[in-house]
A and B are shown apart, each in its own frame.
Chain A
Amino acid sequence: MTTLTAHDVALTYRNGVDALRSVSIELHDHELVAVVGPNGAGKSTLIDVLGGVRAPDAGRVEFDGVSLVSLSAKARARSLAHVPQNLDSIPAVSVERFVFAGRYAHVSRWRGATDIDREAVVAALAAADVTHLAARQLSELSGGQRQRVLIARALAQQAPMLLVDEPTAALDPRHQLAVFELLSTLVLERGRGVLVVTHDLNLAAQFAQRIVLMDDGTIVGSGSVDEMLRLEVLEPVYGPRLHVGRVDGVPVVLPWRSLEDSHE
């Protein structure tokens, strides 16, 4: 079993904001964990720290018991893949070339790419259902296509764990569902461990095995969908204007303006 663990990690930004205060969390293979919480709760910072992209001020992050700090950048990238919310700039490359960047941690500087690398790219393109886009320029793609390509690049890294930051932020409902179905397939059929940061409680409800609720740099609760998506748990964090119902037995959370509010 593969495990990613954070022990009491804390991180303060230079402007004095405590992004994380003593956060502990575990992620295993074969599970999809959704990290939810209001804006500024520290979710994206947690992804950076778990992925080793940013070092915490205190505490430690371990992959299978080995501290991330002691791993080389390439060794870390072979264990943990990161799907960013967006890129600083869209490079002028084809989808295939872009996905090939996921092989950076595997390719030897002097021997160059091997058949194993090429096969990994082909497999990643197929798994994310973007094989038909391989020859297209990255800049030509729609938001939904680009999100799948970002996931394909992370899959090419062949890391057992994926850290996914807000994958559905700019997508229409159909593509939101498609992205979560893809992530879920990776967990159920390929045994990956996936940690996804999302604002969408309802997608989390349908796909996550576990929900972690964050607020103000700390984890305020963690548990199954049924345990977490209850008014008593959500209201202290999101405020009172919520409605929790059920569709097909799965909790549904809606921002809800009650009748009393509308008469004020």
Chain B
Amino acid sequence: MTEIIKIENLCKSFGDLKAVDDLSFSVKEGELFAFLGVNGAGKSTTISILCKTLKKDSGRIFIDGEDSDLNPNKVRKELGVVFQNSVLDGSLTVKDNLKHRASLYGIVGEEFEKRLKELASLLEFEKFLNRVVGKLSGGQRRKIDVARALLHKPKILILDEPTTGLDPQTRRTMWKVIDGLRKSNKMTVLLTTHYMEEAGDADYVLIIDGGKRVAEGTPIELKNKYTGDYITIYSVTKEQIERLGLPYQEVSGAYRLKVANTWVATNLIIENPELFKDYEITKGKMDDVFLTVTGKKLTEDSEK
């Protein structure tokens, strides 16, 4: 797969504060790339520089092989952005909003009408095309934000905490559409999120802290490297578990043991077959990875 985003030695300071400190990474075409970090870690600054709305101090950015400094408008055409908060005009209708934003990409007249029809059908918002954006529910408004980002068929979709505050059903619809577009159009998605299950579904994860890269890899690689495995054993007594001499946690009548890796878990089962009649082995979660590499918890509260 080709590298569609390549960032080299990116630096940005605000006074004495180094918001982005010599950050380098690349994103492959068609990948779902999760970008994690607490508030102030440098995610939004990196995204703003990527979108050409903020000037960098140094470093280079290549989008689809183009140097973003040399051909900024070509780069802008390749990017679609769903911002953390809706930036559409609340007092205009859905159609008026999309018509205006499409015109900024030169999409007007019949071309716009055709694209609007496609997106309305894809994101299921035909029924509220003529409703004022300010009167839509949070989920409906988010659909329009996504439609706005997809108006010009971008190669890269940047999602800045897109599902924060959405109900599970809208979140699922949104991901269904995005996954479909990734498969059909090889669209690359760069995601920042609070929801660790979303990060866990990514193809690749980059964790930054204090503007620097602290860990990266596929979710499995990160879990293997930074967390252990968990064995949950059912229908055993506390004395039996204590005999194993491993740290454990009581969870709703069962016991959850932490082991270094799957190999250790397998050995434990072989050595104590009488205990393992009803059990499950799970990998550590992305929350554990994040806590291990940054020493901080990535929760909605930490972001606010």
Question: Are A and B associated in one complex?
Answer: no
